[in-house]
């Protein structure tokens, strides 16, 4: 696994930050946000592209693609694949997404067009902009010639990509897949757009406590950025080369709300069907699930409706589950959220520890489940779900399980 997050620029640092309950939110430093309704975000503090790329290469990659490449490098190194000589690269694929893609280069080149004219547009503009360039760049860098594309489904993007990678291996199209998502939307246009939708928290006086999923005083999500990459591998292939196996992907569930372009279905029916489908795909009973990494955006509607959906699927067992939202610490990484949150879920299984939901101070009677709000909790986690729900009514759930040879 590989991760770039607002609380850690590697998987070990990310895990440490979660267990410490660290907030990645702070005032925006990338541009002057003084005239914006929201003036804070969860930036990648300390990230220097020149630590990973030469200057020429860095200039030809939008930040979202830089993040994708860096997280993929960490994941491949962690998996021991960069040194493995027995790899058939025609059987290695990349399915990697971004919800928005190169919005930073779009913003910058739009300014060039207006101020300097069409002949000053960079020839790299379109290749830097398109979301599918991330899997393309990863495959070019390492020579991976298997299936290569990116699914786009807003905030459910990375989960859909992991699900696609899982299916491609199941169907025999690949032995190894690199999958996940990357996003870098903290820019003038990105923040202004989400502000116009009234989607972001405006708790400018206290950014570090602004992301407060399931709390009665929540007022919107906190925009984050980063990337997560996971190496999925067919079991026999992994065991033959002696790979470390963190967990198994055992099921995926997809559904659509068919309700509204941004608001979730108030009944929670669509989200519930995604969770139910993941359980059925995995052959699991609801009572076998120990932990849910919730979508938990800290918006008034999402958290109440996700709670309703969990109760719909799990009944009384919903009250025995541990639930947490890591967005309370890293903000909402949009198209990267599902990958980073899947990594958090895998680590909860691997280390038998539930990451907390921070900033929870005021109970909401409509959100009455166990959101793990008093710091990390030691618990044996054998089965866990990771939920992601996106604008457009896209719902995706991963079922993950401890690997037991």
- Told to judge if 332 belongs to the known catalytic residues of this protein, a careful annotator would answer yes
Residue of 152, 141, 123, 65 whose CA lies nearest to 338:
152
Q: Per the residue annotation, which of 42, 295, 367, 394 is the catalytic one? A: 295
Q: Per the residue annotation, which of 155, 160, 187, 394 is the catalytic one? A: 155
- Burial of 379 by CB count in 10 Å (0-12 exposed, 13-18 middle, 19+ buried)? middle
The Cα diameter of the chain in Å comes to: 64
Structure tokens at 279: 């359980």
Torsion angle in degrees (nearest 10) through CA of 11, 16, 22, 28: -30
Q: CA-to-CA distance for 196 and 377, rounded, in angstroms? A: 38
The backbone region for 364, taken as left when phi is positive above 0, alpha when psi lies in -120 to 50, beta otherwise, is beta
- Told to judge if 187 belongs to the known catalytic residues of this protein, a careful annotator would answer no
Residue of 176, 165, 191 whose CA lies nearest to 41:
191
Q: How is residue 286 annotated by DSSP?
A: G
Q: Per the residue annotation, which of 42, 160, 187, 332 is the catalytic one? A: 332
Q: How is residue 10 annotated by DSSP?
A: S
Structure tokens at 133: 């360039």
The residues assigned a catalytic role are: 155, 295, 332
């Amino acid at each position: 696994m590989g991760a770039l997050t607002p609380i850690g620029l590697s998987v070990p640092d990310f895990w440490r930050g979660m267990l410490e309950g660290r907030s990645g939110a702070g005032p925006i430093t990338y541009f002057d946000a003084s005239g914006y309704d929201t003036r804070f975000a969860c930036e990648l503090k300390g990230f220097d592209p020149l630590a990973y790329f030469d200057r020429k290469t860095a200039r030809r990659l939008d930040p979202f693609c830089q993040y994708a490449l860096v997280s993929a490098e960490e994941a491949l190194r962690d998996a021991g694949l960069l040194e493995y000589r027995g790899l058939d690269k025609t059987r290695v694929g990349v399915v990697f997404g971004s919800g928005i893609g190169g919005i930073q280069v779009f913003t910058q080149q739009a300014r060039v067009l207006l101020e300097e004219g069409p002949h000053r547009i960079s020839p790299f503009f379109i290749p830097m902009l398109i979301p599918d360039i991330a899997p393309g760049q990863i495959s070019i860098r390492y020579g991976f010639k298997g299936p290569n594309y990116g699914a786009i489904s807003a905030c459910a993007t990375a989960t859909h990509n992991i699900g696609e990678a899982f299916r491609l291996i199941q169907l025999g199209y690949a032995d190894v897949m690199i999958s996940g998502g990357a996003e870098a939307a903290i820019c003038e246009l990105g923040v202004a757009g989400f502000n116009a939708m009234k989607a972001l928290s405006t708790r400018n006086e206290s950014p570090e406590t602004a992301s407060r999923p399931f709390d009665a005083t929540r007022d919107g999500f906190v925009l984050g950025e980063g990337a997560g990459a996971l190496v999925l591998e067919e079991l026999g292939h992994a065991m033959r080369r002696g790979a470390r196996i963190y967990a198994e992907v055992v099921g995926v569930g997809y559904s659509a709300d068919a309700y509204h372009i941004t608001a979730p279905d108030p009944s929670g029916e669509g989200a519930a069907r995604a969770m139910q489908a993941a359980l059925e795909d995995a052959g699991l009973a609801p009572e076998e699930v120990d932990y849910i990494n919730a979508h938990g955006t800290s918006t008034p509607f999402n958290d109440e409706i996700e709670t309703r959906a969990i109760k719909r699927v799990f009944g009384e067992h919903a009250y025995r589950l541990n639930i947490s939202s890591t967005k309370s610490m890293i903000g909402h990484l949009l198209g990267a959220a599902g990958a980073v949150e899947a990594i958090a879920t895998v680590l909860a299984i691997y280390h038998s520890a539930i990451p907390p939901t921070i900033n929870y101070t005021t109970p909401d009677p409509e959100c009455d489940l166990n959101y793990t709000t008093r710091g990390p909790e030691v618990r044996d986690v054998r089965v866990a779900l990771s939920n992601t729900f996106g604008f457009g009514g896209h719902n995706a759930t991963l079922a993950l399980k401890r690997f037991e040879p």
